[in-house]
Amino acid sequence: MLHFHTDYFHFPVFSRLARKTLTTLHGRLDLPDLPAVFRAFPEMPLVSIARHQRQPVRFANWVDTVHHGLPADSLPYCERPSWDYLAFLGRICPEKRVDRAIAIAKRVGMKLRIAAKIDKADRAYYEHQIRPLLDDPLIEFVGEISDAEKPAFLGNAFALLFPIDWPEPFGLVMIEAMACGTPVIAYRRGSVPEIVDPGVTGWVVDGDEEAYAACRRASMLDRLRVRRRFEERFTAERMMRDYLALYLRQANADPGATVAA
């Protein structure tokens, strides 16, 4: 089996071997030119990283959904968090809605720490739309952080704010927070309802008022249970098992294929 993670660029080269391939799609699929690509290569077996990701091209040759996973020890559970701030981790761009996170923090009167990178394409947006919002004692702009800094940043947070305004294909930061035991407050867009278990690992909200209420309820959640649900659903080992089962299923469907143990 050949397993591709390179979008659809390999389709023309490997279409004749389609039954011996799998392609995991990692990006958004609601772009206007993409339906034509998948209609041109209907034989290519596809894997989604969330069921919602499929919606713009439901007719494509989907064979499974495999949620992402992380090494269980990459972000350890935080036993004694400081619990003195809300966290935002990601990019500064319109669809990630850090402006909404700032408004939520101000409304509930909690400190917000923003760990985010600013790409060149989003520099003007940051300067004109976000930077003026940072002049508040509740708001701290940390900047981009490394993987080594994530456990402390996420683990000590009261909750992670994920106030997106786009069809998020997956959202790794949500399961990174869960690995640390930190609940997630996320807006109902894209993959969010598949990733967050309401009342267990966080809250899925449909508007700002629900987000405010969720911030007040986050302390009700058992952080150890958040971590355990991560271990049940989002480890790299679970992802590996899912893919291995898929390889075997696809190979058994094709008598000419072989799979190495």
Residues 6+ away with beta carbon under 8 Å from 62? 46, 47, 48, 54
For residue 255, what pLDDT is reported?
52
Beta strand 112-117 with 86-91 is parallel
pLDDT at 51 over 50: yes
Cα(first)–Cα(last) distance of the chain, in Å? Answer: 12
Q: How confident is the model at residue 251 (pLDDT cuts 50, 70, 90)?
A: confident
For residue 150, what pLDDT is reported?
97
CB-based contact 89:176 (threshold 8 Å): yes
Q: What is the mean pLDDT of residues 161-182?
A: 97
Crossing angle of helices 208-217 and 98-108, in 10° steps, is 60
For residue 38, what pLDDT is reported?
97
Domain ranges (residues) in the chain: 2-69+235-253, 86-233
Q: What is the mean pLDDT of residues 192-208?
A: 97
Q: What is the mean pLDDT of residues 183-190?
A: 98
Q: What is the mean pLDDT of residues 189-193?
A: 97
- Decide: helix, strand or coil at residue 55: helix
Q: How confident is the model at residue 260 (pLDDT cuts 50, 70, 90)?
A: very low
The pLDDT tens digits of the residues spanning 202-245 come to 999 999 999 999 998 998 999 999 999 999 999 999 999 999 99
The pLDDT tens digits of the residues spanning 65-111 come to 999 999 999 999 999 899 899 999 999 999 999 999 999 999 999 99
Q: How confident is the model at residue 252 (pLDDT cuts 50, 70, 90)?
A: confident
Q: What is the mean pLDDT of residues 9-29?
A: 95
pLDDT at 253 over 80: no
- Could you give the strand order of the β-sheet that contains 2-4, starting from the edge strand earlier in sequence? 2-4, 21-25, 46-48, 62-65
As a whole number of angstroms, the distance between CA 120 and CA 202 comes to 32
pLDDT at 18 over 90: yes
The pLDDT tens digits of the residues spanning 163-173 come to 999 999 999 99
The fold of 86-233 is Rossmann fold (3.40.50)
For residue 135, what pLDDT is reported?
93
